[in-house]
Amino acid sequence: MRVHGATFLLELGGVILLLAVLARAAARFGFSPIPLYLLAGLAFGQGGIVPLVTADRFIEAGAEIGLILLLFSLGLEYSAAELVDAMRSNAAVGGIDLALNAVPGLAAGLLLGWGLVPAIFLAGVTYISSSGVIARTLDELGWMGNRETPFVLAVLVIEDLVMAGFLPLASVLLVGGTFVRVLLSVGVAALVVLVVLTVAARYGPAISRAVFSRSDEALLFGILAVLLLTAGVTESFNVSAAVGAFLAGIAFSGPAADRARSLLVPLRSVFAGTFFLFFGFEVDPGTIPGALPAAVALAAVGVATKVATGWAVARRAGIGPRGRARAAAALIARGEFSIVIAGIAVAEGAEPDLGPLAAVYVLLLAICGPLAARFVDRRPARTTAA
């Protein structure tokens, strides 16, 4: 028993040390650590160089918590009223983005001979840009004050909102069954989301006041209690726990939301790292070569469609050619939420090839996006305009 305990601690300590080294390397060279976490997962998961023996169960639990914290942090950025306003004011922008980027994923899944459900999940993977990678890139390049940046952020907000509806629907489709059962499950999922949003809109300030405490310890426990209970309730209705976490984040407002952001940032970073690592665990490196041609082709299409999206959105807003080029490059990166979508499908066994395809796709675009943004930033104004 003592040997098993020692092995567990050594493995877990080694994994955490590896994450620390990778995070430092990513910060040193100014790019997202997500691709490095995925590569580490491939190296230490099934079929990897040194598969873990005892720590994988703990990392699996940590990955689930990481997914919940990622979506909760996203929900903290919005209120229920802001969600509705954003949907109304940016509907045209969202339509352009959805048409250009979800359709190629759906078509690719069907052309690969997959069923409709895994093809829908692949559409989600190709559709959503990485809010985390893009926000970091905008900040590092000093683009936050640019005229095109609010329109880039509007695209990201709409994508986040679409995910709030996509995840429960896709989760219900994974369960399967007769048409009537699926229709009933979709109705129940929509009702659960509507109820939670209504509670968040009406009682969010009261919930925030009840949870708020000047003690960081008490506040953190209160936040985690609301978060996990909401995620558990939604999961019991066949709605993804990730959606429940997103809705729980919306319920918080005012000082409680502000403190929650500062308290959860380090916790989220740690567990989010384990989430990406665990996704890599679930992908057999031996399947990567087979997925590589389709992933490269899909990534090339993904670059083109996001460039077209950014350019069209900025042009529609009256932005000049250089600003359009920046908006186009900024939206290329895919990352955390593409992996979230693929991870849900892989966990349910929807399609064996979806995991490796999504992993390679995200690896390519999480690196390509920031590099393209830096290239655009360094080009002379006349060249970019031309």
Using pLDDT thresholds of 50, 70 and 90, give the confidence band for residue 385: very low
Say what the pLDDT of residue 68 is.
80
Q: In this predicted structure, which of 28-42, 94-108, 145-159, 241-255 has the lowest mean pLDDT?
A: 241-255
For the chain, give the secondary structure using H, E and C.
CHHHHHHHHHHHHHHHHHHHHHHHHHHHHCCCCHHHHHHHHHHHCCCCCCCCCCCHHHHHHHHHHHHHHHHHHHHHCCCHHHHHHHHHHCHHHHHHHHHHHHHHHHHHHHHCCCCHHHHHHHHHHHHCCCHHHHHHHHHHCCCCCCCCHHHHHHHHHHHHHHHHHHHHHHHHHHHCCCHHHHHHHHHHHHHHHHHHHHHHHHHHHHHHHHHCCCCHHHHHHHHHHHHHHHHHHHHHCCCCHHHHHHHHHHHCCHHHHHHHHHHHHHHHHHHHHHHHHHHHHCCCHHHHHHHHHHHHHHHHHHHHHHHHHHHHHHHHCCCCHHHHHHHHHHCCCCCHHHHHHHHHHHHCCCCCCHHHHHHHHHHHHHHHHHHHHHHHHHCCHHHHHC
Using pLDDT thresholds of 50, 70 and 90, give the confidence band for residue 383: very low
Residue 220 pLDDT greater than 70, yes or no: yes
pTM higher than the cut 0.85: no
Say what the pLDDT of residue 10 is.
82
The contacts found for 53-58 with CB under 8 angstroms, 24 or more apart, are 53/7, 53/11, 54/4, 54/7, 54/8, 54/11, 55/8, 55/11, 55/12, 55/15, 56/281, 58/8, 58/12
Q: In this predicted structure, which of 256-270, 351-365, 370-384 has the lowest mean pLDDT?
A: 370-384
Using pLDDT thresholds of 50, 70 and 90, give the confidence band for residue 140: confident
Q: What pLDDT digit, counting tens, does each position of 145-196 carry?
A: 788 888 887 788 778 777 767 776 777 777 665 556 666 766 776 677 677 7
Using pLDDT thresholds of 50, 70 and 90, give the confidence band for residue 103: very high
Q: Which is more confidently placed, 120 or 166?
A: 120
Residue 90 pLDDT greater than 70, yes or no: no
The CATH code of the domain at 2-381 is 1.20.1530.20
Say what the pLDDT of residue 46 is.
66
Phi, psi of 39 (to 5 degrees): -65, -40
Say what the pLDDT of residue 253 is.
66
Say what the pLDDT of residue 324 is.
92
Residue 357 pLDDT greater than 60, yes or no: yes
Average pLDDT over residues 204-218: 79
Mean predicted lDDT score pLDDT of the chain: 79
Say what the pLDDT of residue 386 is.
37
Q: Which is more confidently placed, 116 or 66?
A: 116
